[in-house]
Structure 1
Amino acid sequence: MRERGASGARCALSALVAALFAVLGAALLTGCQGLAGGDDGDDGDGRRPVSAATSAAGRPSGYGTVFLAVDECSSSGTVGFTEVPCDSGRAAARVVAREDGRASSGPPCPATTDFVLHISERRPSADEDGDGAVPRGYACMRKLRPPHPGDPGGGGGPRTIVGDCVRDAGDGRVHETACDAGGEKKPQYEIVRAVAERSACPAATALYVSLGGERPVGCARPL
C-alpha cells in the first residue's frame, strides 16, 4: 500500500510539473511572437515599420518621385536650390518644362519662363530611379508670386519675346531691360513683332533682335 501511495504521489507530481512547463512554454511562445513583430507590426523598438507603399501614399503629390519634374517646386534661389512641396512656405517657383542635356543646345524654355535651373550630375538622397544619380539637364522655372521677369516687358527671363524692351549695349549687342524701368538704364526699343525674315518687319522697325525659335527675328521700334 505504501509503495502504491508513493507511486501515486510521483504521478501527481509529474503531472503538476508537466502542467507548469506547458504554461511556461505558452508564455514564452507568446513573448517570442511579440518580439518578432507578430500581427501588431512592431519591429521590436516600439516603432511601427513603414512600408514603401505607406511612404508613397503619405508623400505630397508628385514630390520626390522625379527630381524637379514638371509641376514640382523648388526653394528660392538659383544656387543651392532644393525640391520642396509646392504647398510649402519655402516653395518659390514651379517647373514648367524639364529637359535633359544643356540649355544651350536643348529645346528652348517656354516664353514666359522666369529663370532656368541647371542640374548637374550629383547624388542626392532621393533621385529619379534609385541609383543615386540625377542626369544632367535643366528645369524651366516660373515664380509662384510676382514680379515675373519672364513676362513681356518684365526685363528678364532666359528668352527675349514680343513685348520686351531692350537697350543698345554696343558691339551689335542689346540688353533686355524692363519697359517701365527708371534710372540710367532706360529702355530704348520695344519688340513689337516676331517674324521669320527681316523683310516681314514693319516699316517703322529700327532694330532687329535675334529671338531664336521658329520666328527668330524680333522687330523693334524706338521708344
Structure 2
Amino acid sequence: MRHRALPRALFAFAVLYGSWALTGCQAPARGAAESVVPGDQALAPAPTGPGAGATFLARGACAGRQTPQGAFGEVDCVNERAAASVLARYYGPRSGGPRCPDITDFVLHITAVTEGTSEALSAPEGYACMRNLAPPHPGDPGMGGGPLTVPGDCVYTEHHGVVKETACDGSLGHAPEYRVESAVRTRSACPPDTDLYVQVGGGTPVGCARRLS
C-alpha cells in the first residue's frame, strides 16, 4: 500500500526497549507477553526538502535526539546528532506486525499527529527497528537488552514459570541461569540436553536453553 508524504504533519515517538517476558517451558506452552518499557514521548517534524516525498524514517535513514527531553527526529547520517540507523521500517501496529531484525537495539513507535481532519494530512501508525551507530548495542546476544530474545541471550527465572532476559555477565543485577543456545520451530527440534524451553516469537518461536553451571 502506498501512503502520501506529509511535509507538514507531526509525528509522536515512543522508544520501546526491553525484551520478551518469556514463558518457562517445563510446563505446557503459554502465550508470551512482550515486556516494554516506554521511553520519552515527544513531537518531531516530518522531513522537508529534496527527500520530503520519501517514507519518514525509511530503511537506512538515521535518527537523533533533538531535544533535552529525548525526542527523536530524522537527521542526516553524517549529522553529529545522528545516534541510530533504521534497520527496518513497517506500517501498522507492532503487535502482530513483522518481527524486527535480531540485531535491533530499540524500536521507535511512530504515531501520526495530524494538523487537521484532511486525509492529505493523515499518516499511518508504524514502527522503526533501530540500531545504535556506536556501542553499546543492547540488542546483541548476551547483552541483556533490546526488544528481542535471540540465541546467545541469557535468562533467569521468576515466579509462575516466567523467565526474563538478563546480561550474561550479570552486569544488569540478575545472575543468569540459562543461555538460549538455539531457536527452532517446535520443542521436539531442540537438542536432547535442553534444560528449559522459552517462547521467543518469530518464525522459530521456541528457544532451547541450557542451564549455566
TM-score strictly above 0.5? yes
2:96 matched residue in structure 1: 105
2:81 matched residue in structure 1: 90
- Structure having the higher Rg: 1
Deviation of 1:79 (Å): 5.5
Matches of residues 183-194 of structure 1 in structure 2 within 5 Å?
Answer: 184-194=173-183
2:23 matched residue in structure 1: none
1:81 partner letter: F
**Distance change >3 Å, CA 152–CA 66, structure 1 → 2:** same
1:181 matched residue in structure 2: 170
Deviation of 1:80 (Å): 2.4
Structure 1 residue 145 and structure 2 residue 134: aligned? yes
Offset from partner CA, 1:104-144 (integer Å, 9 cap, x none): 110100111111100001148xxxxx933332100000110
1:202 matched residue in structure 2: 191
Matches of residues 13-52 of structure 1 in structure 2 within 5 Å?
Answer: none
**Rounded Cα–Cα distance in structure 1 between residues aligned with 2:140 and 2:91:** 24
Greater RCO (CA < 8 Å, at least 6 residues apart): 2
1:166 matched residue in structure 2: 155
Question: 51, 56, 67: which is aligned to 2:56?
Answer: 67
Deviating beyond 6 angstroms after TM superposition, the runs of 4 or more aligned structure 1 residues are: none
Moved more, 69-78 or 209-218: 69-78
**Distance change >3 Å, CA 121–CA 179, structure 1 → 2:** same
Structure 1 residue 157 and structure 2 residue 150: aligned? no
Offset from partner CA, 1:30-85 (integer Å, 9 cap, x none): xxxxxxxxxxxxxxxxxxxxxxxxx52xxxxx687321111111114996211111
**Rounded Cα–Cα distance in structure 1 between residues aligned with 2:108 and 2:173:** 30
What is the aligned-residue RMSD (CA, Å)?
Answer: 2.3
1:87 partner letter: V
Unaligned runs of at least 5 residues, structure 1: 1-54, 57-61, 125-129
Identity percentage over the alignment?
53
**Rounded Cα–Cα distance in structure 1 between residues aligned with 2:172 and 2:72:** 32
CA contact (8 A) 1:63 1:84 kept: no
Residue-pair matches, total: 159
Deviation of 1:166 (Å): 0.7
**Rounded Cα–Cα distance in structure 2 between residues aligned with 1:169 and 1:159:** 18
Deviation of 1:204 (Å): 1.9
Deviation of 1:183 (Å): 6.6
**Rounded Cα–Cα distance in structure 1 between residues aligned with 2:172 and 2:109:** 32
